Amino acid sequence: MPSQGALWRQLFALGMAYPVMRLWLGLRVRHRARLPQQGPAIIVANHNSHLDILALLALFPLRRVPDVQTVAATDYFCKSRWLRWFSTHLVGIIPIVRGSGQAADIDPLEGCYRALAAGQVVIVFPEGTRGQPEQFGELKSGIWYLARRFPQVPIVPVFLAGMGKSMPRGAPIAVPMNVQAIVGHPLSYLGDKAQFMSTLREQLCELRAQLGLAESGQERPAERSEASRSQQ
């Protein structure tokens, strides 16, 4: 029988993540079978909207939801006691302190280490914060340090598209848009940090290209033309 914590997570998926992403926005997923079938595992995704967390949770079947946790900023998701409870118990975040707010003797990734050691699937947004709608920002190297601690854990890239248009920063609700997710092949840890970060970015850019998106996040002209012809 699922624990009380697992039931809270599943209720959040049933009441929020699944209805919003699958019914309201009609999330389309490519290569879902590439998702990790069990933990420990790391999912790395681009970040443009609060919808990103819901989208990634919605990729998993209900029984797997309690095993999936998302790294998220303490200063945003834990502003109050109530919000901290909601974020940790229902959304299932791993709070992380950004910038200089973390004590010098505490590793900011400690919560991620514990989750992976417990066999969880940990979602990381290596850009560190939500970017501008459909823009892909610079990747922070924290993901490399996490992978170095668990070198045998697979790292699965996922590119999300349309979330930043559906619910950009500051928007109160999501509006129906063309939202998509594409899952890449698992990556392995590389001891050379620069090479690892470059490989990770290349893989995410390749997934974006497979969705027919240009650097700006807009559809490529050829893709638009093909889509127009298919609708005639």
Pairing of strands 180-183, 155-161: antiparallel
Separation CA 65–CA 67 (nearest Å): 5
Which band of pLDDT confidence, cut at 50, 70 and 90, is reported for residue 228?
Answer: very low
For the residues 74-94, what does the mean pLDDT come to? 89
- Provide the CA 220 distance to its chain's centre, in angstroms: 24
Q: What is the 3-state secondary structure (H, E, C) of 73-96?
A: EHHHHCCCHHHHHHHHHHHCEEEE
CATH of domain 4-231: 3.40.1130.10
Which DSSP string corresponds to 182-206?
EE---B---SSHHHHHHHHHHHHHH
For the residues 206-224, what does the mean pLDDT come to? 68
Question: What percent of the chain has a predicted confidence (pLDDT) above 70?
Answer: 87
Burial, 63: exposed, middle or buried (Cβ in 10 Å; 0-12, 13-18, 19+)? exposed
pLDDT digits (tens, 9 = 90+) for 134-191: 778 889 999 999 999 999 999 999 999 999 999 988 888 899 989 999 999 999 999 9
Tokens in use for 57? 């949770």
Domain residue limits, the chain: 4-231
Q: pTM for this one?
A: 0.87
- Mean pLDDT is lowest, of 4-13, 24-33, 164-173, for 164-173
- Mean pLDDT is lowest, of 2-16, 58-72, 197-211, for 2-16
pLDDT at res. 103: 55
